[in-house]
């Protein structure tokens, strides 16, 4: 398995174990991680 695949999958799982705050932290985290992954694919992966 490619390292970038493993990294993004683990990063997407982090809210299940590490974010329990009563605000939009989980929401913003998932949005930012997905956006960063898209930018990575656009610039580096292809």
Partner 1 sequence: MLIYALVLYLLIGTFIAVYAMRKVKSEEDYYIGGRKLSGVVSALTYAATTYSAFMMIGLVGLSYVSGVGALGFELFYLVGTIMLLSYYAPKIWRLGREKGLVTPGDLLAMRYGNKSSKVLAILVAIALIPYTSLQVISISLLLSKEIGFETGIILSAIIIALWAFLGGMRSVAWTDAVFGVFMLLMAITAVAFATALLPSYEFSRLGELLYVPNSFWRYEVFVSYTLPWFFFALTNPQVVQRIFIPKDETSLKRMVILFGFFGLLYTVLVTFLGLQLRLLTEFGVFPKIADRDLVTPKFLELMPKEFNVAIAISIFAAAITTANSIVLTLASMFSRDVIKTRSVVTGRVFVVAITIAIALFAIQRPAYIVDLAVMSSTILLCQLPLIFGIFHWKMGADFSATATLFAGFTTAVALYYTKATLGIPIGVWVIAISFATFFVVSMIEKRFKLERS
Q: Which residues bind partner 1 (CB under 8 A)?
A: 5, 8-9, 12, 15-16, 19-27, 30-31, 34-35, 37-38, 41-42, 45-46
To partner 1, the closest distance from the beta carbon of 36 in angstroms equals 10
Q: Which tokens hold the place of 44?
A: 């580096």
To partner 1, the closest distance from the beta carbon of 6 in angstroms equals 11
Per-residue burial over 11-34, b = 16 or more CB atoms within 10 Å of its CB, e = otherwise: beeeeeeeeeeeeeeeeebeeeee
Q: Which tokens hold the place of 41?
A: 């694919």
């Amino acid at each position: 398995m490619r390292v970038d695949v493993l990294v993004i999958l683990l990063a997407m799982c982090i809210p299940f174990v590490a974010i329990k705050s009563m605000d939009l932290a989980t929401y913003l985290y998932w949005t930012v991680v997905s956006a960063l992954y898209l930018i990575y694919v656009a610039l580096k992966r292809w």
